[in-house]
Amino acid sequence: MTTRAQPAKRKAGPSDNAAAPKKLRCSISERPSLQSDTTTVFVGRLSRAFPVDNKLLRTSCDFFHDQPLTKKGKHAGSKQVRLPDNTIRAFELYLGWLQTGCFYIVAEEDADSPLSDYEPVDHSDRVGISPSEVEREKWYECYLLGQNIQDHNFQDACIDLAQEKIASGNQDMMIAACRFYKTSPIDEAHRKFAVTVAAHLWNTERFELVTRIDYPKMFLEELVAYIGPRLRLVTVPEASKQTFFKNAGCQYHAHTTLKKPCYKETHPAFK
């Protein structure tokens, strides 16, 4: 993609008017709100605060819009949302995606970065993992964030990101897809993605390893149900990772089952 639309600009209010005011003395009742139109999102166990423009938060889903205002304390009247079970880096990726439609996820220094910046407890045993594995973890954390805030558009974009990564020959993403089964509820189209990836893109060694890896039971059941009948007809050939998703379109997108438009139609970056 060569062009990136910027998020819709806030409508100019009285305080935004660059032209000289006609008069300096104004009625108190005309004063623009001193409250900025933001929601503060507290993310992760460290509760890092992200003040985010409400219009940006409404780009893709209504989750933040639907949260009640804070009623008590010094922040009374402002909106605060807590996402303790999601990671800071996933939320940062989400904000980038809301603005541009892209995932700013690749970092050369990932393998050596101090993971304690994110979640010291969860990642204490992950020192020295490869950049590819870090990227896979971030990707899954994004999917979980999408699940938590009910943003199926973001989850569909995660599916497309996985396709792009798999097309580059990445094995990690191929085995990560079945982790969708650990979330609940899991969308039918996303399950289909995980099963299709395994059926057509796993190589022989990957299938031989199946008893040594703790795959979700439901995933294995659906994989057998997919492969079994086709085996009789010899129609489960191993496919090319580079070309398999070429015409995938929306067949692995949750919006197809939800009967809603694709994020590629609604996200400002794709218009």
Given a contact cutoff of 8 angstroms between Cβ atoms, the answer to whether 110 and 135 are in contact is yes
Q: How would you classify the pairing of strands 38-43 and 79-83?
A: parallel
Of the pair 186, 236, the CB lying nearest Zn ion is at: 186
Q: Name the minimum Å distance from CB 48 to Zn ion.
A: 32
Q: How far is the CB of 32 from Zn ion (least distance, A)?
A: 39
Residue whose CB is less far from Zn ion, 79 or 253: 253
CB of 57 to Zn ion, least distance (A): 22
Torsion angle, alpha carbons of 91, 97, 102, 104, to 10: -30
CB 201 within 8 A of CB 173: no
Q: Which of 228, 216, 229 is nearest to 190 (CA)?
A: 216
Q: Which is nearer to Zn ion, 13 or 261 (CB)?
A: 261
Q: Which residue(s) pair with 38 in the sheet?
A: 53
CB of 209 to Zn ion, least distance (A): 32
Structure token pair of residue 139: 């990707």
Shortest distance (Å) from residue 136 CB to Zn ion: 23
Give the residues lining the site for Zn ion (CB under 5 A). 250, 253, 262
Residue 64 corresponds to which tokens in the numbers above? 């933040």
Q: Provide the H-helix boundaries in the chain.
A: 54-57, 88-100, 131-148, 152-167, 171-176, 188-201, 204-208, 217-231, 254-258, 263-266
Instruction: Report the residue number, 157 or 173, with the smaller CB distance to Zn ion.
Output: 157
CB of 190 to Zn ion, least distance (A): 12
Q: Which residue number, 115 or 254, has a Cβ lying nearer to Zn ion?
A: 254
C-beta of 157 vs 174, nearer to Zn ion: 157
